[in-house]
Amino acid sequence: MMSKKRLQGFRAAFIHYAGVAHHSDEIAGQFRYLPDGLLLIADGKVVSLTPWDDGNNVPEGCEFTDYQGRLILPGFIDTHIHFPQTEMIAAYGEQLLEWLEKYTFPVESKYGDSEYASAMAAFFIRQLFSHGTTTALVFASVHPQSVNALFLEAQKYAMRIIAGKVMMDRHVPEALLEDPAESARQTRQLIERWHGKGRLGYAITPRFVPTSSPALLEQAGVLRREYPDVWMQTHLSENIREIEWVSELFPEHDNYLGVYDHYQLTGKRSVFAHCIHLQDKEWTCLQQTGSSVAFCPSSNLFLGSGLFKLSAAKARKIPVGIGTDVGAGTSFSLLRTLGDAYKVQQLQSYKLNACEAFYHATLGGAHALDLDSVIGNFAPGKEADFIVVDLTATPLQKLRCSGSTDILDKLFVLMTLGDERNITHTWVNGECVWTQGETEENDHAIFA
Ligand code: GUN
Ligand code: ZN
């Protein structure tokens, strides 16, 4: 006998994107706005999104939630973030290499303690949800315990998350050093334990070239070939001194990306964060290998790294997701990060409109992770990850939006003035995992 499906319905305004696109005008062609709609989901999957029809389209037996006056959009997708940097966000005064030495490595050293990692994993996942993020591609620390802690926490919510233990075998403090064989062994074990389990995915995670010996990159490449459907994440071309260092360490390679490419770490499901100072050849390599980019504007401004050329990625149809890059980024909010993205593009005379910006934070991010067939919009069959937004959560937003009737204008206000105060509910896999105003008892325990 077939078990009866649990059916849920939601009435609100909706936006999403019907399909993958690259250029601004193509993205606009995929944009869908329903001022009054009904979303039906069953067993965590989208059944339909239709215009509201005076209630005639609410099936019998459906659990109904009325979010009239609110906007529902697909959950945000953060394509680059560091779990063990949560508590060192807003670290003063340094650019990348000194910032890593002075602040990052000492804090990441704490994540070898499973109990600490578990408490921080709970805090981290709550931060994602309260900021409207339902999927993230995450760097853990070098310790397998940190990955276990994060996946165990995500599993409680059936959250779709991809993460990996950082691999690094040189130019880091003794306490974080590993040897390539051990790094590969631990990575393999984690892949076997977690990858494809429910909604969890694994990413092979060599930190960046300066902390990788040729032997470590070789091992990462071996793993990639052994497990072709796992992800690969790393950093690329973020800071001028970092790039000079790479050319000293690997003089035989033409450029920074050439090193990763040599070890076969490029390709679909490879996500390169930053990509600020790329040569033409490197852009071409990203394009030809089908690699993706995580644009991290908040971090790039905070560390003084430089300005990402979104237009160059678009010209080559390279998938681009948005990354908060916490703790170099200064907020978990993809809304705030889109506000920074707009400003970074303004400095280069590229007008990042709201339609395009929200695409990259939702379906575009899913595409960058090669997950656009399962998340990112409200097409039937997609996993039901979505957020409920109050477009006028503050007096200033109310003032600015009064008299505004254009949804794109309202969305531009949201990405410019908005933040976690605008996210009223976060739904993951058809369950409400966060409601604004909820007490956060677990979070307080960490500060005690
Ligand atoms: N490059 C290598 N490691 C890091 C990191 O932790 N953060 C950033 N922003 N860049 C990096
Ligand atoms: Zn990073």
Residue count (the chain): 448
Residue 347 burial by CB count (10 A; 0-12/13-18/19+): exposed, middle or buried?
exposed
The mean pLDDT of the chain is 97
The predicted pLDDT at position 441 comes to: 61
pLDDT in tens, 428-447: 999 999 999 986 665 656 66
Q: How many other C-beta atoms lie within 10 A of the C-beta of residue 60?
A: 5
Distance of CA 80 to the CA centre of its chain: 5
Ligand nearest to the CA of 107: 1
Contact 104 CB / ligand 1 (< 6 Å)? yes
CB 191 within 8 A of CB 230: yes
Contact 238 CB / ligand 1 (< 6 Å)? yes
Say whether domain 7-74+376-438 belongs to CATH 1.10.443.10. Answer: no
Residue 206 in 3-state DSSP? Answer: strand
Domain range summary for the chain, segments of one domain joined by +: 7-74+376-438, 76-369
Residue 55's pLDDT band, with cuts at 50, 70 and 90, is confident
Long-range contacts of 277-284 (CB under 8 A, 24+ apart): 277/237, 277/238, 277/240, 277/243, 277/306, 278/236, 278/237, 278/309, 278/312, 279/255, 281/254, 281/255, 281/257, 282/236, 282/237, 282/255, 282/256, 282/257, 282/258, 283/312, 283/313, 283/316, 283/318, 284/316
Ligand 1: atom nearest CA of 208 is: 2
Residue 344's pLDDT band, with cuts at 50, 70 and 90, is very high
Contact 328 CB / ligand 1 (< 6 Å)? yes
Contact 235 CB / ligand 1 (< 6 Å)? yes
The predicted pLDDT at position 324 comes to: 98
The Å distance, Cα 345 to ligand 2 centre, comes to 20
pLDDT in tens, 199-249: 999 999 999 999 999 999 999 999 999 999 999 999 999 999 999 999 999
Average pLDDT over residues 405-417: 98
Q: What is the largest CA-CA distance in the chain?
A: 68
The predicted pLDDT at position 442 comes to: 59
The predicted pLDDT at position 440 comes to: 66
Contact 208 CB / ligand 1 (< 6 Å)? yes
> Using CA positions, which residue lies closest to atom 11 of ligand 1?
235
pLDDT in tens, 286-315: 999 999 999 999 999 999 999 999 999 999
Ligand nearest to the CA of 300: 1
Ligand 1: atom nearest CA of 303 is: 9
* Closest residue by Cα to residue 304 from 348, 255, 344: 344
Contact 163 CB / ligand 1 (< 6 Å)? no
Q: How many other C-beta atoms lie within 10 A of the C-beta of residue 37?
A: 22
CB 434 within 8 A of CB 388: no
Q: How many other C-beta atoms lie within 10 A of the C-beta of residue 94?
A: 15
Superfamily covering domain 76-369: Metal-dependent hydrolases (3.20.20.140)
* Whether pLDDT at 2 is above 70: no
CA distances from 276 to 73, 79, 358 (A): 29, 16, 21
d(CA 78, CA 171) in angstroms, rounded, equals 28
Percent of the chain scored above 70 by pLDDT? 97
> Using CA positions, which residue lies closest to atom 3 of ligand 1?
207
* Closest residue by Cα to residue 146 from 108, 182, 183: 108
Ligand 1: atom nearest CA of 325 is: 9
The predicted pLDDT at position 333 comes to: 98
Query: Lowest mean pLDDT: which of 4-8, 40-44, 194-198, 277-281?
Result: 4-8
* Whether pLDDT at 6 is above 70: yes
Ligand 1: atom nearest CA of 328 is: 9
CB 167 within 8 A of CB 190: no
The Å distance, Cα 209 to ligand 1 centre, comes to 11
The predicted pLDDT at position 259 comes to: 98
Residue 173 burial by CB count (10 A; 0-12/13-18/19+): exposed, middle or buried?
exposed
Paired tokens of 320: 């681009």
The Å distance, Cα 94 to ligand 1 centre, comes to 12
The predicted pLDDT at position 447 comes to: 64
The predicted pLDDT at position 436 comes to: 97
* Whether pLDDT at 5 is above 90: no
The Å distance, Cα 230 to ligand 2 centre, comes to 19
Helices (H), 213-323: 214-226, 240-249, 256-262, 280-289, 297-302, 310-315
Contact 209 CB / ligand 1 (< 6 Å)? no
Q: How many other C-beta atoms lie within 10 A of the C-beta of residue 2?
A: 4
> Using CA positions, which residue lies closest to atom 5 of ligand 1?
100
Residue 54's pLDDT band, with cuts at 50, 70 and 90, is confident
d(CA 290, CA 310) in angstroms, rounded, equals 16
The predicted pLDDT at position 439 comes to: 67
Ligand 1: atom nearest CA of 327 is: 7
Residue 244 burial by CB count (10 A; 0-12/13-18/19+): exposed, middle or buried?
exposed
Average pLDDT over residues 28-38: 98
Alpha-carbon radius of gyration of the chain: 21
From 211, 235, 260, 337, the mutation candidate for ligand 1 (largest count of ligand atoms within 8 A of CB) is 235
Average pLDDT over residues 187-199: 98
* Whether pLDDT at 141 is above 80: yes
The Å distance, Cα 80 to ligand 2 centre, comes to 6
What phi and psi, each to the nearest 5 degrees, are found at residue 390?
-95, 115
Residue 95 burial by CB count (10 A; 0-12/13-18/19+): exposed, middle or buried?
middle
Domains 7-74+376-438 and 76-369 share a fold: no
The predicted pLDDT at position 56 comes to: 86
